[in-house]
Amino acid sequence: MSFDPDSEPAFEGDTTRMLFEPPQRLVRALGEAYPDVAADWLGQVPELAEEAVSRRKLTVERVQNPGGRSSLVVLVRQQDGTPAALKIAPEAAGPALERAALAHWNGWGAVELLDTDAGADGTAGAGELLLERLHSEVSLRSLPEAKALLEAAGIVRRLWIEPPPDHDFETVAERTARQTAAMRSADPALAPLIEAALAARDELTASADELLLLHGNFRQGKVLAGDRAPWLAVGPDPLVGERAYDLARLVRDRVEDLVASAGGPSATRRRVNRLADSLDVDRGRLHGWTLFRAVESGVRATAAGRHQDAELLLEFAGWL
């Protein structure tokens, strides 16, 4: 393992633990999403990162901070000096599925996977991804809203392709079925909104006729500036299903601005229609999935104690 003496260190000192200390955002997010495994995995992160860097003979620049919500991201250089990003995630976060999706996209609209064979047999490196280096500080959220939505539409369109044969991705129906249990046990005061969301989900899954590879978590913050292409998607939570499901998360981007504006409800309806029309997606299906995903996220935020996020999401859902 080597370190770049000219780069700015993420932490003072030169011990492995200090160098690869997980950022606090990662600690909080993993604790919320994977409470059963988060503590043990986070305790192993420094050793996992050191071993991965040594095995790959990488030069470390720094840990990306605040970084991701489900993985440690280390900015590195390969042996030939090419910049890259090493992503290390717990098995529960699905790094194997992310690897499969990125390999299938092969850099088309998404960040390029630089080690397509690593971890393929489930041995050392299975939770690691070596990716092309993007400009993590510049996402589509840095653009004016109209421009950001236009660019986002162009990127997500590229990702919607036939999945690889014999894939292990879950379907939209399977993922949303898992989510309904927590929704049904939520605060009874939310019952009317939850019932509307569940009814929409049942109708949509019963009539779905698309099985495309989806990003699964697509939004403006998941599209970063790059050198190989102006904008590339990162951080997929891949699954297969219909395009409207994937587009639904984008509809509520910058929800805090929508809620703060006097014309939030009408602006939301216009955004649904504009995105649906620009990508040839049925308006009604996009409306239904936007409702379901906003309510599901709001219920999850409530359970995690993120009450401000929950209020924004549920108010937004109430407009649909």
For 28-85, how does the pLDDT look when each residue is reduced to its tens digit (9 = 90+)?
999 999 999 999 999 999 999 999 999 999 999 999 998 889 999 999 999 999 999 9
Q: Are 224 and 136 in contact (CB under 8 A)?
A: yes
Q: What is the CATH number of domain 139-318?
A: 3.90.1200.10
Give the C-alpha separation, 303 to 183, whole Å: 10
Q: What's the pLDDT tens digit per position in 208-241?
A: 999 999 999 999 999 999 999 999 999 999 999 9
Give the C-alpha separation, 278 to 153, whole Å: 8
Paired with 18 in beta bridges are none
Residue 124: the pLDDT is 53
Residue 116: the pLDDT is 76
Q: Where are the domains of the chain?
A: 2-132, 139-318
Q: Which residue bears the tokens 């092969």?
A: 106
Interhelix angle 243-251/283-303, nearest 10 degrees: 60
Token pair for residue 159? 């990702």
Residue 16: the pLDDT is 62
Residue 126: the pLDDT is 79
Reported as type and span, the H/E element at residue 239 is: strand 239-241
Residue 19: the pLDDT is 86
Q: Which residue bears the tokens 């400009």?
A: 135
Residue 122: the pLDDT is 44
Give the C-alpha separation, 4 to 82, whole Å: 13
Residue 125: the pLDDT is 75
**Segments of the chain scoring below 50 in pLDDT:** 3, 5-14, 121-123
HSE (CB half, 13 Å, CA atoms) of 134? 30
Residue 2: the pLDDT is 53
